[in-house]
Chains A and B, each alone.
Chain A
């Protein structure tokens, strides 16, 4: 099981702040493809990966990163702190 979190407009588009998933995906990209195939709202949220960032266990990562051993995946737009 993996915990998937969504923030900002990604959360609004998908309509959920977080969910627990049983997935066979071995990389972030595979997880994105799996989610996008599920429902239109996911496909919309993930339609332009260049406008998204991903964190694995609370560390910024990349879409080609492996998911082995990862407990928490978060998807969000580029950060706007400060």
Chain B
């Protein structure tokens, strides 16, 4: 299990290759990469603030739950903070399991919980200045299915 909260960019392809190589005994690897939406070309940058310490603790707790519930062989979460440009990868999740259903479910679970339980806050910088991205009710509702 690996968790990284980092300012620097990462290469989702290289991360997937490395994760797959070490996922001994897995029959399925699912990955998800989240990108900065450029809002039709109007976004000049996104700034992501986080709560150092709590961020790592919250994500580790979510990952432990996913590994236990779906008997994962391995899991990976990378999440960036700081200033990002449109189109850049913000975060990625990878899960490895004996069978694909568990790998898919665990990846969705990790994503749903990262959205509203990991202390990150996104701010969009555009032509009308800076705006904090508001949390959606749908993101909170998504947790009820787990």
Chain A residues within 8 Å of B, Cβ to Cβ: 5, 7-9, 55, 58-60, 74, 76-82
Contact = CB atoms under 8 A, between A and B. Distances in A.
Interface residues of B, number: 26
Interface string B3-34: 00000000000000000000000000000001
Interface of B: 34, 49, 51, 53-54, 57-58, 79, 90-91, 111, 114-123, 132-135, 140
Contacts of B123: 8
A55 B120 contact: no
A34 to B, nearest CB: 22
Contact of B119 (A9, A79, A82): A79
Contacts of A77: 121, 132, 135
A21 B120 CA distance: 25
9 contacts: A55-B119, A58-B51, A58-B57, A74-B119, A80-B115, A80-B134, A81-B119, A82-B118, A82-B120
A81 to B, nearest CB: 4
Contacts of A82: 34, 90-91, 111, 114-115, 118, 120
B79 A81 contact: yes
Q: Top 4 A-B pairs ranked by shortest CB distance?
A: A78-B135, A81-B120, A8-B121, A58-B54
A79 B53 contact: no
Nearest to A11: B49
B49 A7 contact: yes
